[in-house]
Amino acid sequence: MQPNAPIPIQTPAELGRAIRARRLELGLQQAEVAMQSGVSTPTVSAIENGKVTARIGLVLQICRDLGLRIRLES
């Protein structure tokens, strides 16, 4: 896959892995992302682990704060 190529996301676990990969790429700890996004560290952990009950608004906020763009295609 090319750098910056879109990553197809089909499950909460895949989205969580993409979020974790971006956080690590930026050299951030979960606690730092939590503070920046206004959520708890356990929330960041749950999202990164693909917890299906994670609130979509929080997931989107963390994506924005990490500079991830989400695009829907049909």
72 within a domain of the structure (yes/no):
no
Handedness of CA 31, 32, 36, 37 (dihedral sign): negative
pLDDT at 1: 46
Residue at 23 is within a domain: yes
In a domain, 51, yes or no: yes
Mean per-residue pLDDT of the chain: 90
- pLDDT attached to residue 28: 98
pLDDT at 47 exceeding the cut of 90: yes
φ/ψ of 44, rounded to 5, equals -60, -45
Report the interhelical angle of 30-37 vs 56-65 (nearest 10°): 110
**Contact 41/34 with Cβ under 8 angstroms?**
yes
38-42, 51-55, 59-63: least confident range: 51-55
Mean predicted confidence (pLDDT) in 8-31: 94
Tell me what percent of the residues of the chain surpass a pLDDT of 90: 73
Structural domain of 58: 12-65
Domain-located, residue 24 = yes
